[in-house]
Structure 1
Amino acid sequence: MLVSLPSVLRIPLAMLLLFLNVVLHVLPLIALALLKVVVPLGFVRRPLSRVLVLIAESWIGFNNVLFKLFTRVRWQVEGLDGLRRDGNYLVLSNHQSWVDIPVLQKVFNRRIPFMRFFLKQQLIWVPLLGPAWWALDFPFMKRYSRQTLLRHPELQGKDREATKRACEKFQHMPVAVMNFAEGTRFTQVKHDAQSSPYQYLLRPKAGGVSFVLDAMGKALHAIVDVTIVYPEGPCTLMDLIAGRVHDIRVHVRERPIDAGLIGSYDEDAAFRGRVKAWMNTLWVDKDAQIARMRTATDAASTGH
């Protein structure tokens, strides 16, 4: 019924309910997180961490219900068999839009451990969401540009140390660490500026992936390789809320973690070359997967 409302009523109502869902879940998140800080005892912090994850999964679950009520998205998701809630995964995905995040949350909520994203340090100041991400142990990272490192060589390796510290807290809990290996959302302008060798992807950044693999070590069980396609083209969160996104395709593939992928990315040039070659091969496969998914959806839309 709600999806049939006129857009002038449907969109404000959907946004209001999404905002109320944020408030109702974020306030207890922050309260419990502060309690975890005030009482820094392991036997208190561990159960509180589990409760925080349950609240976050409830938050995502209600978001999914709202999107189902207010939109008519046709989903095609492949490859979820065999994933475990008690596993530890590195989740890799292509990145096209902020819609990717609710898509990943819908697909994986309560199927694998609660996903944590690496976030830019300044995002901690986002009202409501920033404190919620902090409460849920999302790792906040401060990345340094090549120009900054040239001016301040003493900062070399600081991002790696921060990654290790962020991952240390995940050693004793089931976790899925999410990484958009392209480092930014795909646009044709960025693609052309990079002279990307891939048709549908930007060049992957192997360093961030390598740092997580090195920091988590044998705690990770597998890599979850995710490919997302929007057959109608680029879209925004407002497009999703307004019901202008009608088709979403997601392909999931679980990949083993080769022992040869764990090592010192900064200090070993030969190892760095192997990781880059592995990432490039993965991206060639992903580019081909996107082409297949686009061809399949194009054929479906034309009735072939």
Structure 2
Amino acid sequence: MRRVFKFLFVTLVAFLYVILSVITALFAIIFGGLAKLMPIKSWHRAVMKMALQVPVIWASISNQFLKLPSNHEWKIEGKGPLDTNHWYMLISNHRSWLDILVLGYVFNRKAPVIKFFMKKELLWGLPILGLSCWLLDYPFVQRHSRKEIRKRPHLKYRDIHTTQKACEKFKEFPTTVVNFMEGTRFTPEKHQRQHSPYLHLLKPKAGGTAIVIKELQEKLSGILNVTLHYSRPLSFWNYFQGEPFKITVHYELLPLTPDLIGDYYKDREFRRHFQRWLNGVWEQKDLLLDELSRSNDQKT
């Protein structure tokens, strides 16, 4: 009977969440569409500023859902002041499909609106969500494997151009640009296949972040380094089933120093330096995750 109740509860929560998300996305389509139609730049900015409140409202709704289970433990540790009127480059490890919701829980209304690069397939795979994000100037990118890029080198430059074009739009309004540096969710299988030198992380990919930093160098107030740790594998289903979770989010605001600004794809020396810097950040992140994992193991 208890299992049936849990199933019905999670199903109801999922249904309500989807309905409210669709309604919110429709508002984004309305305001984002109006902004695109504005013939005068000042009108466009005014309407787009209103449209960008939609993802903030959506995150607020999402946060209320995340608060429903009362037996989860959230531990949020942060270093550095944040401001909704500033720009940030947010780098993070990637553990679950719910990572974006967790980031929204922590940073909504504390940092500017979160924007992230989305797979182009989502534009058609999730038409309402995809269209709403496109109208709000969330960038869509086509994922290419190394094998594809070796065969067709021009694909790499197409991705660079897409990122640069996205950054021009990011400059218009304060934005938190999110990049999950591993490029995919962490799994033991991917970790083994990649021969990662880290215990709890995949290898970080530096190119996209280096481009964003270069393009937004005059706007960025810093690099928001976020570490996500869950006491066990996190999904929408098991989060709302009621079994206790411990969710730890650690963040620190790193300074944007001149040595982190350069042409990643044309300057070999800079590319090596930037990758070394990122590897150092990843080593510290791995140590923190190991400490959190050991602490969790001792309690269980």
TM-score (norm 2): 0.93
Is 2:22–2:129's contact at 8 Å kept on the other side of the alignment?
Answer: no
Distance 2:62 2:156 in 1: 40
Per-residue deviation at 1:67? 2.2
Structure 2 counterpart of 1:128: 128
Map residues 69-108 of structure 1 onto 2, 5 A cutoff. Answer: 69-70=68-69, 72-79=71-78, 82-108=81-107
**Runs of 4 or more above 6 Å deviation:** none
1:101 aligned partner, one-letter code: I
Distance 2:44 2:242 in 1: 41
Instruction: Give the secondary structure class of the aligned counterpart of 1:221.
Output: strand
Structure 1 counterpart of 2:286: 287
Is 2:36–2:135's contact at 8 Å kept on the other side of the alignment?
Answer: no
Structure 2 counterpart of 1:65: 64
> Would you say how many aligned residue pairs link Structure 1 and Structure 2?
296
Q: Percent identity?
A: 36
Map residues 250-289 of structure 1 onto 2, 5 A cutoff. Answer: 250-289=249-288
Structure 1 counterpart of 2:175: 175
Per-residue deviation at 1:277? 0.4
1:192 aligned partner, one-letter code: Q
Distance 1:176 1:160 in 2: 19
2:95 aligned partner, one-letter code: Q
Per-residue deviation at 1:150? 2.7
Inter-CA distance 20–216: structure 2 relative to 1 (3 Å threshold): same
Per-residue deviation at 1:33? 1.4
Distance 2:153 2:118 in 1: 23
Unaligned runs of 5+ in 2: none
Give the RMSD, CA atoms, in angstroms. Answer: 1.7
Is 2:80–2:252's contact at 8 Å kept on the other side of the alignment?
Answer: no
2:141 aligned partner, one-letter code: M
Structure 2 counterpart of 1:158: 158
2:203 aligned partner, one-letter code: R
Deviations 1:12-44 (A, max 9, x none): 221121022112211111011111122242111
Instruction: Give the secondary structure class of the aligned counterpart of 1:78.
Output: strand
Instruction: Give the secondary structure class of the aligned counterpart of 1:226.
Output: strand
Structure 2 counterpart of 1:217: 217
Structure 2 counterpart of 1:238: 237
Is 2:198–2:283's contact at 8 Å kept on the other side of the alignment?
Answer: yes
Distance 1:153 1:69 in 2: 48
Is 2:86–2:219's contact at 8 Å kept on the other side of the alignment?
Answer: no
Instruction: Give the secondary structure class of the aligned counterpart of 2:52.
Output: helix
Per-residue deviation at 1:9? 2.8
TM-score (norm 1): 0.92
Per-residue deviation at 1:186? 0.4
Which moved further from structure 2: 281-290 or 8-17?
A: 8-17
Is 1:21–1:63's contact at 8 Å kept on the other side of the alignment?
Answer: no
Unaligned runs of 5+ in 1: none
Is 1:10–1:70's contact at 8 Å kept on the other side of the alignment?
Answer: no
Distance 2:157 2:205 in 1: 16
